[in-house]
Amino acid sequence: MHYGHKKLLTLALSSVSEFGTIEIGVTSDEMLKGKEYAKLIENENARVERVKSFVDSIAPGMKNRRKVFIISSPVGPAVSDEDFDALVCSHETLGGGLEINRLRREKGWRRLKLLVCRRTEAVGMSSTAIRKAIGERNSEELE
C-alpha cells in the first residue's frame, strides 16, 4: 500500500459523517493476475489486512463502522446496492466512477458523489511503477 492508496483512504475517511459507515473494496487476486509484475502483488487477504490496519491507525473510532471486502468486478457493489452515497476515485479511475453513475441512473437510482483525489507528487506514483522498479532492482541483484 503506497502513498496514493493512503491518500485515497484518508479522503474517504474524512468524508464519512459523524455516525456514517465506510465500505472499502480491495481488488481480487483474480482481477489483478493480468497486471504488469503481478507476481509482486501481495495476495488479497494481506492487502485487506493492510487496509484495515491503516484505517484503524488513523481513525480508530471507525473500527466498528468500517467494512473491508474483496471486489471481483470493475464496478464493485455500487451497481448492485442502492445504499451507497459516495465513491472515492483517483483522477485515473474517475472514468470508472462515471460509468458506475451511468449504470445507477439506468436503474433509476441516485448518482453517487464522486470524490476525486488528484496526484500531488511531481512524478506519478502508481502500483505498477512501484512493482516495475522492484522487479528491475531484483533483476539487477540476480545478475
pLDDT greater than 80 at residue 122: no
> Cell triple for residue 89?
476515485
pLDDT (0 to 100) of residue 139:
56
Q: How confident is the model at residue 72 (pLDDT cuts 50, 70, 90)?
A: very high
Is there a contact between 112 and 86 (Cβ–Cβ < 8 Å)? yes
pLDDT, tens digit, 9 for 90 and up, residues 93-103: 999 999 999 99
Name the nearest CA neighbour of 78 among 52, 49, 102, 48: 102
Task: Please state whether the predicted TM-score (pTM) of the whole model is above 0.85.
Answer: no
The CATH architecture to which 3-142 belongs is 3-Layer(aba) Sandwich (3.40)
